[in-house]
Amino acid sequence: MAEPREIDTGLDGFRLWPGALDPAAQAALLAEVRAAVAASPFYRPVTPGGRPFSVRMTNLGPLGWVSDRDGYRYQPTHPVTGQAWPAIPDILLDLWRDLTGRATPPDACLVNLYRDDAKMGLHQDRDEADLTAPVLSVSLGDTAMFRIGPASGGATRTFRLASGDICALTGPARLARHGIDRLLPGSSRLLDGGGRINLTLRVAGGAAGQTSR
Ligand code: MD6
Ligand code: FE
């Protein structure tokens, strides 16, 4: 793969590589995700308050992020099937190594599926044991409007995340508040029926069984 080109986001620690995956690489990754999801299907989690997410989720790797009445946590099994999550594909492990430069590989990959008017409210990723390790995000399918602002609250900015774009929350942006306001329907033909898949790679390690909020 050609070395992806990083752009200056103007936000310290928020790294963005537009078009990091060309169409062939997007299709190859999607095929791997589809194969994994066949055994580990998307399901709709609920918030600790009992509200269903509009996004459907599954995970790859030794640990997966889940939300239910008991809170947010990482666990080794799918909450519906009870089976271990499928392995993280090598394509993603290679991207992690190349783009983050981290020796420690990710042990969790959350897979979000957005259809129709699914969105994700502003949140922080803070359920991981080591909050110095980055979170790397890969987008496939329809373009999303990604909102990001400081951990402390306050002004946010919006970036478009298109199919094949990769971004990362690192260093001073690791605990940034961020979310997906909406999709731009029809902006990609990668997914049958439209929509978007987002994959976020994390070092969750040691957080299994831990809950927050
Ligand atoms: C999404 N992304 O793009 C949601 N989290 O669907 C995230 O929540 C996210 O893009 C941590 C780091 C990067 C992200
Ligand atoms: Fe997040």
Q: In this structure, which amino acid lies at residue 23? A: P
Q: What is the pLDDT of residue 2?
A: 72
Is 95 in contact with 76 (CB distance < 8 Å)?
A: no
Among the bound ligands, the one closest to the CA of 134? 1
Instruction: Map out the domains of the chain with their CATH numbers.
Output: 14-131+142-202 (2.60.120.590)
Using a 6 Å CB cutoff, which residues line ligand 1? 112, 120, 125, 135, 137, 144, 146, 161, 167, 169, 178, 180, 198, 200
Among the bound ligands, the one closest to the CA of 165? 1
Q: In this structure, which amino acid lies at residue 77? A: T
Q: How far is the CA of 98 from the centre of ligand 1 (A)?
A: 19
d(CA 144, CA 116): 12
d(CA 59, CA 33): 10
| Minimal-distance CA residue to ligand 1 atom 6 | 198
pLDDT tens-place values along the chain, 213 residues long: 678 999 999 999 999 999 999 999 999 999 999 999 999 999 999 999 999 999 999 999 999 999 999 999 999 999 999 999 999 999 999 999 999 999 999 999 999 999 989 999 999 999 999 999 999 999 999 999 999 999 999 999 999 999 999 999 999 999 999 999 999 999 999 999 999 999 999 999 964 444 444
Atom of ligand 1 nearest to the CA of 169: 12
Nearest CA to 81 among 64, 99, 104?
Answer: 64
Q: How far is the CA of 84 from the centre of ligand 1 (A)?
A: 23
Element (H, E) at 27: helix 23-39
Q: Enumerate helices (H) and strands (E) in the chain, giving the number of each.
A: 2, 12
Which regions of the chain does DSSP assign to beta strands (E)?
14-17, 56-60, 64-68, 71-75, 108-114, 120-123, 135-141, 144-149, 157-161, 166-169, 177-183, 196-202
| Minimal-distance CA residue to ligand 1 atom 14 | 137
| Minimal-distance CA residue to ligand 1 atom 1 | 198
